[in-house]
C-alpha cells in the first residue's frame, strides 16, 4: 500500500464521526433499496435489459453520437466535442466568456468534478454557485464530494448546521432539518436567479430527440438551468441512449438502486433552447460531449464499465467504502466503481492501491442495476499491475518465492507443516503479529491454525 493511501485510510478509520455519518446515509439507502427491489416484480429482467441497452450503445457509439448531434442541432442546441478534460473545460470557459458570464449556477455533475471544472471556473475568474444541497455544503466546506449521489454524506447534520450558521446571511435558528433546508433555500435561490449561465451534467442523452435528461430530488437543476441566458451541458459520451423508451427503462432502475425511490422527484428532459412560444428558458443551449478516456476504456477491456448509470449502489453495499468513506479513495469516483474508473482516468501507477483494496466479495456486482462485473474488472487491474511490475519489490519477491514453493508439492507440504507448527507454538490460541505481514496483524488477530491442514484431512478421506 502506498504511503499516501495508507495515510488516508488510517485517518478515515480513526474518525468516529465519519463512520456515524456513512452508516446513517448508506445504511438507510441499503435498506430502502432492498424494499424497492422486493416490490419490483421483474427486477432481474430489467437489469438484463438495461445492460443490453448500454452495451448496444457503447458498441455503436459513433452512430449514436452522430444521431444525437443531428437531433440536438435540429432542436436548436450547439454540440461540441472534447477529447480531454482540458479541452472540455476550455470549451465551457469559452462559452461563459462569450456570454459575458460573471456567475454560473451549477447543478450537480460528477463529470464536472472529473474534468476539474470548478477549478477551471475559478481560474477564469467566474463565480460558481453549487445549487445541489449536498454540493452546496461541500462548496461551503471547501471539500471534495465523498459519494456520487450524496456528495456530503461524510458530514453529520450537526456539522452542516455549523457551516450554514457560518456562511448564510440569514441562517436557521431552530436545529431542525426543515429549518436548515429553508436556510439553504433562501441562500441558494438568490444565486440561482441571478446567474448568467447554468451548467448541468446529464443522466441520459436521448439520441432520437436530442434531449438531455437530468434527475434531481430538489428541483435545483430546473431552477438553475431555465432562468439563465445560457445552458451548458457537460456529458460523458457513454450517457447516450437510443430513445426516450430506453431512458425510461434505465430510469426505473436508477432511482430504486440509488435511494430506494420509484422515481426521483424531478426528472426533466431539456430539448434545445427557448422557442418563440416558450414563456421562459435559456436563449442558447450548448452540449459538450466528452470522451476523456472513454473510447480507450471501451477498446481496452473496460467496455462494461461504460454501462454505469452512477446510482451509487455499489458503494452503499461495499464493506470497504462503509469503513473508510469516499475521500480515502483519492480520486473523483469512490467505492467499487471508482476503484475501476480511477486507474483508467488517473493512470494505474498512481492508483494501483484501489483495485487491491477490494475484498472481492461480489456484493457490488450483485446490486449493480446494469450488471457490471466489478470484481472481474478489479482483478483485471490487479493482473495488469503485476504484468507492468508496479507492485513493490518486496511483494513481488514474496509472491515469487511463494509461487516457487507452491509448484513443488513436497516442499510446499513441508513448509505448510512447519508454518502450522510455528503458528501454533508461538500463537498460543491467537496470533497477534506475523513477520512480513505486520500490515495485516496491526488491525486484527488471527486464530492459530488447526494442527492438521485441510488438504491432509481431505487426503485421508475425511469429509
Footprint of ligand SF4 on this chain (CB under 6 A)?
Answer: 257, 308-314, 337, 368-370, 372
> Which candidate, 122, 145, 115, 117, places its Cα nearest to that of 133?
145
Cα(400)–Cα(404) distance, integer angstroms? 6
Q: Which is nearer to ligand SF4, 115 or 255 (CB)?
A: 255
Provide the CB-side half-sphere exposure for 364 (13 A, CA): 31
**Minimum Å distance from CB 192 to ligand SF4?**
27
Cα(23)–Cα(29) distance, integer angstroms? 9
C-alpha cell at 73: 442541432
Q: Which is nearer to ligand SF4, 274 or 310 (CB)?
A: 310
Q: Which is nearer to ligand SF4, 91 or 313 (CB)?
A: 313
Strand 211-216 vs strand 204-206: parallel, antiparallel, or unpaired?
antiparallel
**Minimum Å distance from CB 379 to ligand SF4?**
15
Grouping H, G, I as helix, E, B as strand and the rest as coil, residue 416 is helix
Cα(148)–Cα(351) distance, integer angstroms? 19
**Minimum Å distance from CB 197 to ligand SF4?**
28
Q: Which is nearer to ligand SF4, 21 or 313 (CB)?
A: 313
| CA dihedral of residues 132, 137, 138, 143 (deg, nearest 10) | 180
Q: Which is nearer to ligand SF4, 221 or 377 (CB)?
A: 377
Burial of 401 (0-12, 13-18, 19+ CB in 10 A): exposed
**Minimum Å distance from CB 254 to ligand SF4?**
8
List all residues 6 or more positions away from 348 whose beta carbon is below 8 Å from its beta carbon: 381, 384, 385, 388, 390
**Minimum Å distance from CB 2 to ligand SF4?**
24
Alpha-carbon 122 to chain mean position: 24
Q: Which is nearer to ligand SF4, 191 or 326 (CB)?
A: 326
Cα(25)–Cα(241) distance, integer angstroms? 30
**Minimum Å distance from CB 63 to ligand SF4?**
23
Q: Which is nearer to ligand SF4, 129 or 311 (CB)?
A: 311
130 near 192, Cβ under 8 Å?
A: no
Q: Which is nearer to ligand SF4, 147 or 187 (CB)?
A: 147
> Which candidate, 304, 311, 387, 321, places its Cα nearest to that of 352?
387
**Minimum Å distance from CB 314 to ligand SF4?**
3
**Minimum Å distance from CB 259 to ligand SF4?**
12
Q: Which is nearer to ligand SF4, 77 or 258 (CB)?
A: 258
**Minimum Å distance from CB 310 to ligand SF4?**
5
**Minimum Å distance from CB 441 to ligand SF4?**
32
Cα(287)–Cα(73) distance, integer angstroms? 10
Q: Which is nearer to ligand SF4, 163 or 258 (CB)?
A: 258
Q: Which is nearer to ligand SF4, 199 or 370 (CB)?
A: 370
**Minimum Å distance from CB 393 to ligand SF4?**
33
> Which candidate, 235, 362, 376, places its Cα nearest to that of 309?
235
**Minimum Å distance from CB 336 to ligand SF4?**
6
> Which candidate, 250, 21, 31, 265, places its Cα nearest to that of 150?
21
Q: Which is nearer to ligand SF4, 99 or 240 (CB)?
A: 240
> Which candidate, 214, 218, 248, 244, places its Cα nearest to that of 232?
214
Cα(235)–Cα(240) distance, integer angstroms? 9
> Which candidate, 59, 60, 33, 61, places its Cα nearest to that of 47?
33
Full DSSP string of 344-395: HHH-HHHHTHHHHT-----HHHHH-TT---HHHHHHHHHHHHHHTT-S-HHH
Cα(417)–Cα(292) distance, integer angstroms? 52
Cα(393)–Cα(402) distance, integer angstroms? 14
Amino acid at each position: 500500500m502506498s504511503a499516501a493511501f495508507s495515510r488516508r485510510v488510517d485517518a478515515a478509520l480513526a474518525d468516529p464521526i465519519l463512520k456515524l455519518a456513512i452508516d446513517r446515509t448508506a445504511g438507510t439507502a441499503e435498506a430502502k433499496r432492498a424494499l424497492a427491489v422486493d416490490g419490483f416484480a421483474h427486477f432481474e429482467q430489467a437489469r438484463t435489459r438495461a445492460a443490453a441497452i448500454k452495451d448496444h450503445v457503447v458498441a455503436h457509439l459513433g452512430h449514436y453520437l452522430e444521431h444525437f448531434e443531428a437531433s440536438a442541432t435540429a432542436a436548436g442546441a450547439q454540440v461540441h466535442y472534447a477529447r480531454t478534460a482540458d479541452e472540455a473545460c476550455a470549451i465551457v470557459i469559452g462559452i461563459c466568456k462569450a456570454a459575458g458570464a460573471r456567475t454560473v449556477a451549477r447543478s450537480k455533475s460528477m463529470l464536472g468534478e472529473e474534468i476539474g471544472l470548478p477549478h477551471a471556473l475559478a481560474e477564469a475568474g467566474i463565480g460558481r454557485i453549487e445549487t445541489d444541497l449536498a454540493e452546496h455544503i461541500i462548496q461551503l466546506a471547501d471539500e471534495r464530494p465523498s459519494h456520487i449521489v450524496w456528495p456530503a454524506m461524510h458530514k453529520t447534520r450537526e456539522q452542516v448546521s455549523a457551516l450554514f450558521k457560518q456562511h448564510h446571511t440569514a441562517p436557521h435558528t431552530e436545529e431542525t432539518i426543515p429549518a436548515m433546508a429553508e436556510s439553504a433555500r433562501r441562500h441558494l435561490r438568490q444565486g440561482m436567479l441571478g446567474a448568467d449561465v447554468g451548467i448541468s451534467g446529464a443522466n441520459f442523452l436521448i439520441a432520437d430527440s436530442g434531449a438531455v435528461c437530468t434527475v434531481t430530488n430538489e428541483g435545483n437543476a430546473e431552477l438553475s438551468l431555465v432562468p439563465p441566458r445560457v445552458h451548458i451541458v457537460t456529458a460523458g459520451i457513454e450517457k447516450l441512449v437510443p430513445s426516450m423508451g430506453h431512458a425510461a427503462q434505465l430510469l426505473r432502475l436508477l432511482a430504486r438502486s440509488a435511494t430506494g425511490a420509484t422515481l426521483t422527484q424531478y426528472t426533466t428532459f431539456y430539448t434545445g433552447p427557448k422557442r418563440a412560444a416558450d414563456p421562459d428558458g435559456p436563449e442558447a443551449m450548448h452540449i459538450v460531449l466528452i470522451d476523456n478516456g472513454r473510447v480507450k476504456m471501451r477498446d481496452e477491456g473496460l467496455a462494461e464499465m461504460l454501462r454505469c448509470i452512477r446510482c451509487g449502489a455499489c458503494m452503499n453495499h461495499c464493506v470497504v467504502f462503509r469503513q473508510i468513506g469516499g475521500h480515502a479513495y483519492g480520486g473523483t469516483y469512490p467505492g467499487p466503481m471508482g476503484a475501476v474508473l480511477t486507474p483508467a482516468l488517473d493512470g494505474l501507477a498512481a492508483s494501483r492501491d484501489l483495485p487491491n483494496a477490494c475484498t472481492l466479495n461480489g456484493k457490488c456486482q450483485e446490486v449493480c442495476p446494469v450488471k457490471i462485473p466489478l470484481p472481474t474488472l478489479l482483478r483485471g487491474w490487479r493482473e495488469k499491475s503485476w504484468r507492468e511490475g508496479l507492485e513493490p519489490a518486496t511483494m513481488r519477491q514474496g509472491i515469487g518465492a511463494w509461487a516457487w514453493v507452491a509448484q513443488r508439492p513436497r516442499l510446499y507440504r513441508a513448509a505448510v507443516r512447519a508454518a502450522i507448527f510455528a503458528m501454533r507454538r508461538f500463537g498460543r490460541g491467537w496470533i497477534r503479529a506475523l513477520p512480513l505481514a505486520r500490515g495485516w496483524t496491526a488491525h486484527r488477530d488471527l486464530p492459530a491454525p488447526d494442527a492438521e491442514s485441510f488438504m491432509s484431512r481431505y487426503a485421508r478421506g475425511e469429509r
